[in-house]
Amino acid sequence: MPLDPLLLDVLACPAPDRAPLRYDEEAQTLTCTSCGRVYEVRDGLPILLLDEVK
């Protein structure tokens, strides 16, 4: 399930940088444009938890 583009607009990194995220549709991940953390997208829902970061 693809991530809603409108949702992507309002999403920000949960780390203190609060930077915008880049969506990788193929990998179903969100990558922070500032700190480079990668967040999973599961069933169209981004998992923006710092303790879930690989």
Q: Which of residues 25-54 bind Zn ion (CB under 5 A)?
A: 32, 34-35
In the bound complex, what is the minimum distance in angstroms from residue 21's beta carbon to Zn ion? 8
3 state DSSP class of 24: strand
- Residue in the structure block whose two tokens are 């809603």: 4
In the bound complex, what is the minimum distance in angstroms from residue 17's beta carbon to Zn ion? 4
Give the helix/strand (H/E) hosting 6. Answer: helix 5-10
Whichever of 1 and 30 has its CB closer to Zn ion, that residue is 30
In the bound complex, what is the minimum distance in angstroms from residue 18's beta carbon to Zn ion? 7
